[in-house]
Amino acid sequence: MTKTGISLITVFILFSSAILLLFIFLLVNSSGKPGLFLGEKKNILTNSISEKGFIEINGWKSGFFIKGENINNPVLLYLHGGMPDYFLTQDFPTGLDEIFTVVWWDQRGAGLSFNAQLDRNIVSIDTLVEDTREITKYLSKRFSQDKIYLMAHSGGTFPGVKVIEKYPDLYHAYIGVAQISYQKLSEKKACDYITERYRNDKKKKKIYNDLINNPVIMTEPIPSEYTRIRDYAMHDLGIGTMHSMRNVITGIFIPSLLFREYSITEKINLWKGKAGSGISIIWDEIISHDLSRENTEFKVPVYFLHGKYDYTCSYELVREYFDKISAPAKGFYSFNNSAHSPIFEEPEECVRIIKEDILGRQAAF
């Protein structure tokens, strides 16, 4: 046998071994079972809940995680944005489960709720609102609470404000994290900011030229060239998912693969559903709405938590939106070391604000 033949066989064996080891590694880190809340003696906390569950909502199988140290705490329903982000809690615990029974719900078509047969034509803003209403009713009945708290993040904040406007009696309060205001204008501001930052950067000359040639213009559709480089540029500049996160692959994709509470199939579905979730399907419709002209009068308290470095959902625009809102109580909280995800970036400060200013204030209602 020739040296070349031996070399090719060796390469094949090494490659196959690497693939096998990777699969075993992923399998070990994909139990699909939610982690338990343990005390100092490794005993399960008596009143805690750690559950992965599924129910039918408006004809579709819908999945969620429920996590809480004390089942008697108030219930918090979390609406994710373009894709479920519960997997980030493995590396960035929020502490929300210390003060709430938190329901990390994967919305229609996303993550645990992925369905390859989902008809994109039946998904609308009203669909997302009614799905949220149904799971809210389920949670209120299950935990014997007349009302629950609603927290939404990024794209989830759009149906979030629509829900509390239409069904205020279901909620104690609404907490918008990286709240959407007028997303089309937010994208323009982000494009302008990235272009300016890259103007004199020789290493980013191609990206700069692409942005110059494909700018976001309010009267035209968002250019695909801008969309193609948007996430890279935002993370490169610290204005994306997290201020300290510089890469989508190492910051999001790999952590999703290493998340132990998803099975391997669920991890695959997480990414298959990214483009097919309800939020993603109607995204082009969402970005055309200016909530500061549509949803400003609320019958429930409204609170916004927003990172100062956030250009995914413009900090400047949401401040303007907040000033136009009328509600029984409202609060705007800025996070100086955060971009798009203060609940993951500055969790201790978030919990402190919620405990002292939101739950404390709600006691008066």
What string of DSSP letters covers 102-114? EEEEE-TTSGGG-
Alpha-carbon distance 7 to 3, whole Å?
6
User: Could you count the other beta carbons within 10 Å of the beta carbon of residue 110?
Assistant: 28
pLDDT at 360: 83
- In three-state secondary structure terms, 150 is strand
User: In this model, does residue 12 exceed pLDDT 70?
Assistant: no
pLDDT at 22: 56
Q: At what angle do helices 157-166 and 125-142 cross, to 10 degrees?
A: 70
Q: Among 6-15, 78-87, 129-138, whose mean pLDDT is lowest?
A: 6-15
Rounded to a whole number of angstroms, the distance between the first and last alpha carbons of the chain is 83
Q: What domains are there in the chain, each with its CATH number? A: 49-183+251-362 (3.40.50.1820)
Q: What is the pLDDT confidence band of residue 16, given thresholds at 50, 70 and 90?
A: low
Torsion over CA: 86, 88, 91, 95 (sign): negative
- When pLDDT is averaged across residues 181-198 and rounded to a whole number, the result is 97
User: In this model, does residue 40 exceed pLDDT 90?
Assistant: no
Q: Average pLDDT of the chain?
A: 92
Q: What is the pLDDT confidence band of residue 41, given thresholds at 50, 70 and 90?
A: confident
- CB 108 within 8 Å of CB 118: yes
Q: Which residues, other chains included, contact 61 with Cβ-Cβ below 8 Å and sequence gap of 6+? A: 54, 55, 113, 115
Q: What is the pLDDT confidence band of residue 251, given thresholds at 50, 70 and 90?
A: very high
